[in-house]
């Protein structure tokens, strides 16, 4: 974080300062800001966040041992550390992030990008960060830091020399994106897609679309909207963006400023031709792209990153060259594991109907003659009333793609298993197992050379760790 005095921080967040014996209001702090005492380093600022299962105030001592010199708290704690008492530490965190970004913007050339969408946020964020880091100091979220805590913590990692801040904005209810993006008013906003991820919290896909469009409304008045023209609900956001005076860049596989054709998916990566034509900005050109990341669905994420980079002044050829160095999108996202004999694709960090379908299609595409497809599937969470129907749909798709072994894990995914059986997969082709341990015991004996194995579920199902275990066992 940038250097601020204790007094300045207290004023920014509307809190009451209680300096430690060796501090006064003019004392300067500039360390890492975090809610996790284990992440503290010398000079750190600890956010004592109350939680569902524990309370951050209990860990102030551990934060001090890690090097924290300031704690933002909701009540005083006896430990010898400077403390600022506020009514709500999450509100205080947001206020601090807003002020820090505004100060760096006022004093330098910081550009802010906001990325949202039902799927692909983390991959696109990582793609774009890779492109931008060669242009200048770039800050992007760790993993999927995209909520009311993670997004401000990312913002607070900037320094006076940061050129690019890439923010990922997730939401499970209306108003959340507006609140988070409103802290920074991004110069470039990226709308990836509107799907059923978290649909239960929004009340349906149309409400989801309205929530995603909050990012358009929060953009800087002189900014750029990067829109997925393949998604009708995202393409419809163009009118709102133009009404606000935003420049619009479209991406996709149809008619768009940045589009892809000739997509080819193999076990070693995904290739296509990228066509770029932005009148008055980039001359028409066709460029080959060879991603090391698996899956056709990542092409649109790459196109979104290229379009956002163009909006920030990066040449398309440079953006593509940097994308080609990315080996995996993120841990537990289409992550190749195992060995030549048994290959594991661990994609179990999260799952929605769209991402589950895309992963199954990728499995089918990358499996060659004499090789066997194996799908290890868990539940998709936060789908609300659509959960049963969407699990049915994925079960039917797995059978219709001729996935040769389907291993369904967990009681919450049982309906997916029943759909598989109902569609005609039986006689051992599909099994239902109670948990990840049972699935591991089954798979370590079932898998054989030539198997190509997809592990896919929502985070809550815990199958990402099963994927890790299988990857290690068959490495």
Measure the CA–CA gap between 138 and 308, rounded to whole angstroms.
14
| 122 belongs to an annotated ligand binding site | yes
Give the three-class secondary structure for 245: coil
Measure the CA–CA gap between 221 and 217, rounded to whole angstroms.
9
Q: Which residues, 6 or more positions from 11, have their beta carbon under 8 angstroms from its beta carbon? A: none
| Residues 359/265, Cβ–Cβ less than 8 Å | no
**Cα dist. 423→392, 397, 406, 412, 429 in Å?**
10, 9, 12, 19, 12
User: What's the DSSP call for residue 236?
Assistant: T
| Residues 371/450, Cβ–Cβ less than 8 Å | yes
User: What's the DSSP call for residue 201?
Assistant: H
| 144 belongs to an annotated ligand binding site | no
Q: What is the DSSP string of 382-393?
A: S-GGGHHHHHHH
| Residues 150/144, Cβ–Cβ less than 8 Å | yes
| 339 belongs to an annotated ligand binding site | no
| 301 belongs to an annotated ligand binding site | no
Measure the CA–CA gap between 216 and 225, rounded to whole angstroms.
7
| 424 belongs to an annotated ligand binding site | no
| 123 belongs to an annotated ligand binding site | yes
Q: Which residues, 6 or more positions from 103, have their beta carbon under 8 angstroms from its beta carbon? A: 2
Q: Which residues, 6 or more positions from 432, have their beta carbon under 8 angstroms from its beta carbon? A: 408, 409, 413, 414, 417
What tokens appear for 68 in the block?
A: 């924290």
| 150 belongs to an annotated ligand binding site | no
| Residues 156/193, Cβ–Cβ less than 8 Å | no
> Which residues belong to the annotated binding site?
117-123
Going by the annotation, the residues of the binding site for ATP are 117-123
């Amino acid at each position: 974080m940038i250097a601020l005095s204790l007094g300045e921080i207290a004023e920014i967040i509307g809190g009451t300062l209680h300096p430690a014996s060796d501090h006064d209001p003019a004392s300067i702090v500039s360390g890492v800001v975090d809610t996790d005492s284990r992440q503290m380093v010398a000079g750190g600022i600890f956010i004592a966040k109350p939680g569902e299962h524990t309370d951050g105030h209990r860990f102030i001592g551990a934060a001090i041992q890690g090097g924290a010199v300031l704690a933002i708290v909701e009540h005083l704690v006896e430990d010898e550390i400077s403390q600022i008492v506020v009514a709500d530490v999450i509100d205080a965190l947001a206020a601090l992030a807003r002020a820090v970004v505004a100060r760096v913007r006022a004093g330098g050339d910081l550009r802010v990008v906001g990325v949202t969408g039902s799927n692909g946020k983390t991959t696109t964020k990582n793609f774009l960060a890779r492109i931008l880091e060669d242009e200048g100091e770039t800050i992007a979220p760790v993993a999927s830091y995209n909520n009311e805590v993670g997004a401000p913590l990312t913002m607070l990692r900037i320094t006076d020399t940061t050129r690019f801040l890439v923010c990922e904005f997730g939401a499970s209810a209306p108003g959340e994106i507006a609140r988070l993006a409103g802290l920074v008013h991004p110069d470039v906003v990226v709308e990836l897609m509107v799907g059923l991820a978290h649909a239960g919290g929004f009340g349906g896909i149309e409400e989801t679309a309205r929530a995603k469009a909050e990012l358009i409304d929060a953009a800087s008045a002189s900014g750029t909207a990067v829109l997925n023209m393949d998604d009708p609900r995202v393409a419809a956001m163009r009118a709102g963006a133009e009404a606000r005076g935003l420049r619009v860049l479209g991406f996709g596989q149809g008619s768009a400023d940045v589009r892809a054709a000739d997509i080819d998916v193999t076990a070693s990566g995904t290739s296509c031709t990228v066509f770029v034509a932005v009148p008055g900005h980039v001359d028409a050109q066709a460029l080959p792209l060879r991603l090391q990341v698996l899956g056709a669905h990542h092409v649109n994420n790459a196109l979104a990153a290229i379009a956002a980079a163009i909006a920030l002044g990066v040449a398309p050829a440079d953006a593509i060259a940097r994308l080609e160095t990315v080996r995996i999108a993120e841990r537990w996202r289409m992550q190749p594991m195992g060995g030549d004999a048994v290959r594991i694709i661990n994609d179990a960090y999260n799952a929605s109907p769209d991402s589950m379908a895309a992963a199954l299609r990728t499995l089918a595409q990358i499996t060659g003659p004499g090789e066997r497809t194996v799908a290890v599937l868990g539940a998709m969470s936060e789908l609300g009333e659509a959960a049963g129907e969407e699990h049915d749909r994925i079960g039917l798709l797995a059978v219709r793609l001729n996935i040769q072994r389907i291993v369904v894990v967990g009681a919450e995914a049982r309906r997916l298993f029943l759909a598989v059986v109902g569609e005609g997969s039986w006689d051992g082709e599909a099994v239902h197992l109670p948990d990840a341990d049972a699935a591991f015991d089954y798979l370590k004996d079932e898998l054989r050379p030539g198997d190509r194995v997809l592990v896919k579920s929502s985070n809550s199902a815990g199958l990402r760790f099963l994927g890790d275990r299988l990857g290690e066992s068959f490495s």
